[in-house]
Amino acid sequence: MKKRVKKHLPNAITCANLFSGCIGIVFAFNNNLIFAAYCIFLAAIFDFFDGLASRVLQSFSGIGKDLDSLADMVSFGVLPAVILYQLFLQSPQIDHISPYLNFIAFLLPVFSALRLAKFNVDIRQAENFIGLPTPANAILIASFPLILREQNAFYNDYILNPYFLSCFVLIMCALLVAEMPLMSLKFKNRDFNKNIYRYLLLLFSAILILFFKFAAVPVVILMYITLSVIQFKIAK
């Protein structure tokens, strides 16, 4: 019994990730973007703990790796795309263009699929990432409805701007498949010097979120990319 639990627990947590993504898609299509965003955060928590459970229990399998990618495709590929699509619909519509432009949101699942497929076969990504991880991209998009809820005119004018959203989609698609090394947040040891960039990211992220709440998320993602670039430039 103990062996069976050890074998299947990580996959059960991965399935919870997938379930969260499916529920989030329903919320998003019903235009309940706040709960859809929360589903992304919940899926990210499950995504973190399935990997942790695999390492702690030493329960690794090819099925687990593929299942994780399939779950991520739904929770961090399709769900954020549906949220973005709804934001496109809420933004001012451009005559004769918006009915087609709005579908640009669904480029994200396409590039997320490419990112995940690449991750599964790319041996260079054992320690760090090549390209923006899909959960980071999804969390960034999940922050948009929560920022809009604060009714800040400055942010709202950008988030509900079809030109901004279109450029955002194209930039994120490029980052997902970019040949750009980015640090993993997995701590292999407690050595401060080897993990200094991870500690800096966690420290500044905590401070920013404490003061700015969900409005800090875009800054945190930008900081993650910047610190990764600095780390690997110095390493070279």
Q: How far apart are CA 21 and CA 40, in angstroms?
A: 7
Q: Which two tokens stand for residue 112?
A: 């997320």
Per-residue confidence at 236, pLDDT binned at 50, 70, 90?
low
Q: Which two tokens stand for residue 2?
A: 């103990």
Q: Which two tokens stand for residue 12?
A: 């059960």
Asked if residue 164 and residue 209 are part of one domain, the reply reads: no
Asked if residue 20 and residue 77 are part of one domain, the reply reads: yes
Asked if residue 132 and residue 77 are part of one domain, the reply reads: yes
- Whether 143 and 218 have beta carbons less than 8 Å apart is answered as yes
Nearest to 21 by CA among 45, 5, 57, 54: 45
pLDDT at 146 > cutoff 80: yes
* Predicted model pTM: 0.92
Asked if residue 141 and residue 49 are part of one domain, the reply reads: yes
Query: For residue 162, which phi and psi values (nearest 5 degrees)?
Result: -60, -30
Asked if residue 224 and residue 128 are part of one domain, the reply reads: no
- Of 180, 197, 220, the residue at which a domain comes to its end is 180
Asked if residue 147 and residue 91 are part of one domain, the reply reads: yes
pLDDT at 138 > cutoff 90: yes
Asked if residue 230 and residue 126 are part of one domain, the reply reads: no
Sign of torsion over alpha carbons 103, 106, 108, 110? negative
Asked if residue 117 and residue 38 are part of one domain, the reply reads: yes
Asked if residue 156 and residue 111 are part of one domain, the reply reads: yes
Q: How far apart are CA 64 and CA 69, in angstroms?
A: 9
Please state, rounded to an integer, the average pLDDT across all residues of the chain: 90
Structural domains of the chain, count: 2
Q: Which two tokens stand for residue 115?
A: 């990112």
For 84-137, how does the pLDDT look when each residue is reduced to its tens digit (9 = 90+)? Answer: 999 999 999 999 899 999 999 999 999 999 999 998 887 777 778 899 999 999
Q: How far apart are CA 103 and CA 214, in angstroms?
A: 26
Q: How far apart are CA 90 and CA 84, in angstroms?
A: 10
- Of 134, 156, 180, the residue at which a domain comes to its end is 180
- Domain boundaries, position 233: 183-236
Provide mean pLDDT across the span 169-175.
Answer: 97
Longest Cα pair distance anywhere in the chain, in angstroms? Answer: 62
For 17-60, how does the pLDDT look when each residue is reduced to its tens digit (9 = 90+)? Answer: 999 999 999 999 999 999 999 999 999 999 998 888 877 777 66
For the domain that residue 170 is a member of, what is the CATH number? 1.20.120.1760
Q: Which two tokens stand for residue 53?
A: 């459970």
Asked if residue 216 and residue 137 are part of one domain, the reply reads: no
Provide mean pLDDT across the span 216-233.
Answer: 92
Asked if residue 138 and residue 228 are part of one domain, the reply reads: no
Asked if residue 124 and residue 8 are part of one domain, the reply reads: yes
